Amino acid sequence: MAKVAFIGLGVMGYPMAGHLAQAGHEVRVYNRNAAKAQQWLSEYPGSAAATPREAVAGAEMVMVCVGNDDDLRSVVLGDSGAFAGMQAGALLVDHTTASAEVARELAGIAQSCGLGFLDAPVSGGQAGAQNGALTVMVGGDATYYSKAEPVIQAYARMIRHMGEAGSGQLTKMVNQICIAGVVQGLSEALHFAQCAGLDAEGAMAVISKGAAQSWQLENRHKTMLAGEFEHGFAVDWMRKDLSILLAEARRNGAQLPVTALVDQFYADVQGMGGGRWDTSSLLARLKRP
């Protein structure tokens, strides 16, 4: 069992840290909202700290799961940040969905400080975090990956080392490109079925056994038809992720016309007041009066 620090107790980090504690690891948590850390302690064994630097003292491994590049830098760098308090040879595993640029930046700083760094964004949403069934894509040194993998298994069903620093974040971008296109396609399919007077749920039951099958179809079509969009990853978060990957595409020359279009559709959903709706709310945009 490892001595672990977990920084960031949002909808993903909270259950992920809980799985580590339940697996028998010694866990110390930090969250900007200290009340959330105290709530976590009421459910799981462990301890809390007042700053990231205090949280990581003596830890072999530090997990971070925050909002974006700026949030990540704020908890990792500076006098009260994680790097300032980590012991030589300790490893920081970043589960934030962030840019490949910041992953490479922090990996370089970590190396200069005698520390390890892995970028390890996750997929599977809140349900995956709660059920310990996340997919984790990892970039960084293979030796550090081997050290982290057994610990990450506490909340993952799939972990894969993708290459050098930044590769985990680039793989997460591939994931979000796929999701954007699939959700828009599913939304259009449901909208078309309803406009054509079909039994939309029956249509989904039929096509789910063929080439149109997808996780989104299996898990979201019923709630979409019911107009329920409170089931996971929010539009605001998706737009953050799409912004990161579209910026990366501009740098590497990738052509992403569908993804760019769906990003604008999500902007329309935000304009409808749906920023906190889940990503399947693209259907609501199609059904506007």
Please identify every residue annotated as catalytic.
Answer: 172
Nearest Cα neighbor of 36 from 64, 60, 62, 17 is 17
Count of Cβ atoms closer than 10 Å to residue 195 Cβ:
11
State the Cα–Cα distance between residues 266 and 279, nearest whole angstrom. 8
CA distance 216 to 228: 14
Cβ atoms < 10 Å from Cβ of 181 = 15
CB 22 within 8 A of CB 30: no
Tell me if residue 36 falls in helix, strand or coil: helix
- Taking CA 8 as the corner, what is the angle to CA 12 and CA 31, rounded to the nearest 5 degrees? 135
SS3 state of residue 78: coil
The upper half-sphere exposure of residue 77, i.e. CA atoms within 13 Å in the direction of its Cβ, equals 13
Query: How far is the C-alpha of 84 from the C-alpha of 90, rounded, in Å?
Result: 12
Looking at the DSSP assignment, which residues form a beta bridge with residue 28? 5, 47
- Identify the CA nearest to 72 among candidates 95, 48, 47: 95
